[in-house]
Amino acid sequence: MNRMLLLLVLALAPVLGAAELPRHMPVPGGVAVVDLPGDHGGRPEVRYRDRDALVVAHEDGYRALLGIPLSADTGEHEFRVRFPEGDWQTERFQVDAKEYAESRITIADERMVTPDAEALERIGRERPIIRNALAHHSDVDEVPLAFQLPVKDRQTSAFGLQRYINDQRRNPHSGVDIAGATGTSIKAPAPGKVIEAGHYYFNGKTVFLDHGQGLISMFSHMDEISVEVGDTLETGDLVGKIGMTGRVTGPHLHWSVSLGNTMVNPRYFLVDESPLDAKREEAE
C-alpha cells in the first residue's frame, strides 16, 4: 500500500525544473513562448532584438520568453540561441496581427500635457533612471512566472490603447490601469527585488521590482511607497498604496511589465485575472 501511494505521489508531482509559463500570445505587445531545439547540456543563451532573453527549464527542455514590442511588424521574426559548448544558431517564430482600441483623456493640468522648460529638465534627468530600471537583467535560473494581481479590482484602462491626451497623440498605453481608492494596498504580484524607487514627473511615485532575467514590474502613481531599494519581496508583500501622483485623472494603479526591456501585456502572466473586466480584454 505504501509503495502504491509513493507511485501516486510521484505521478502527480510536477516535473523537476519545470516552470509555469505565461500565455503564449505572439502579437505586438505580447509574449512568444518558444521551444528551444538542440542539446540540453544546460540553460542556453538566447538573443532577441539584440537583448538577452528570459530562458526557463520546462518539462524535457528549455523555453524562451520573448517580449514583442507594440511597434513590431507582423510576420516572421528571428532570434538566436546557443547551448553550452555549442554555436549560435538562428531560429524563427511568427508574430500575428493585433488591433488595439483608441483612448482619449482630458487632463486639466496643462503642464502634464506640455511641460515647461523646468519640467523638461527634470524629465531629462529622470528618463535614464527609468530606462535603466526597465532594462535591468539579473542572470538567475529561477524566475517566477505565475503572477497574482497587485490590486484585485476592475481594469479601467487596457494595455496597448492608442492614447490621445487633450487631443494630442501620445505613446500607446504601456500597462494596465487598475481601479482603487487612495490608500488601497498594492501587493507584489510575484517574488522579486526592489531595484529602483522614486517620484517621477509623469509616473509619480514609482517602484521597480526585478523578478529575474529581464522581467520587471513597474508600479506607478502611488500615494505611498512602502519598500526600499534592495528589499526582497515575496508574493503578496506590500509594495505601497494607490494614489494619484504624476500624470493622472484620478487615483489608480498603473502596472507595467517589461520583458527584455519591452513593455508587454501584464495579463499574460496572471494566474487569475477574473477581477479584471474580461470584456475589455476582448476589445483590446
Domain architecture of the chain: domains with CATH: 2-95 (2.60.40.1590), 102-283 (2.70.70.10)
For residue 108, the model assigns a pLDDT of 78
- Could you tell me the pLDDT band of residue 277, with boundaries at 50, 70 and 90? low
**Percentage above 90 pLDDT, the chain:** 70
SS3 125: helix
Mean pLDDT of the chain: 88
- Could you tell me the pLDDT band of residue 125, with boundaries at 50, 70 and 90? very high
How far is residue 1's CA from residue 255's CA, in Å, rounded to a whole number? 50
Q: What is the widest separation between alpha-carbon atoms in the chain?
A: 78
For residue 7, the model assigns a pLDDT of 32
How far is residue 245's CA from residue 58's CA, in Å, rounded to a whole number? 41
- Could you tell me the pLDDT band of residue 129, with boundaries at 50, 70 and 90? very high
Task: Select the more confidently predicted residue: 166 or 99.
Answer: 99
Q: Is the pLDDT of residue 34 over 90?
A: yes
**Percentage above 70 pLDDT, the chain:** 89
DSSP result, 65-102: EEEPPTTPPSEEEEEEEE-TTS--EEEEEEE------E
For residue 81, the model assigns a pLDDT of 95
For residue 261, the model assigns a pLDDT of 97
Local structure of residue 243 (DSSP, 8 states): B
Q: Is the pLDDT of residue 105 over 90?
A: no
- Whether the CB-CB separation of 101 and 158 falls below 8 Å is answered with yes
Q: Is the pLDDT of residue 133 over 80?
A: yes
- Could you tell me the pLDDT band of residue 19, with boundaries at 50, 70 and 90? low
For residue 4, the model assigns a pLDDT of 37
- Could you tell me the pLDDT band of residue 9, with boundaries at 50, 70 and 90? very low
Q: What is the pLDDT of residues 229-270, one digit of tens each?
A: 999 999 999 999 999 999 998 999 999 999 999 999 999 999
Name the nearest CA neighbour of 28 among 188, 206, 160, 162.
160
Q: How would you classify the pairing of strands 168-169 and 185-187?
A: unpaired
For residue 38, the model assigns a pLDDT of 64
C-alpha angle 172-175-177 in degrees, rounded to nearest 5 = 110
Q: Is the pLDDT of residue 14 over 90?
A: no
Task: Select the more confidently predicted residue: 217 or 283.
Answer: 217
| The model's pTM | 0.89
- Whether the CB-CB separation of 257 and 264 falls below 8 Å is answered with yes
Name the nearest CA neighbour of 197 among 211, 186, 207, 187.
207
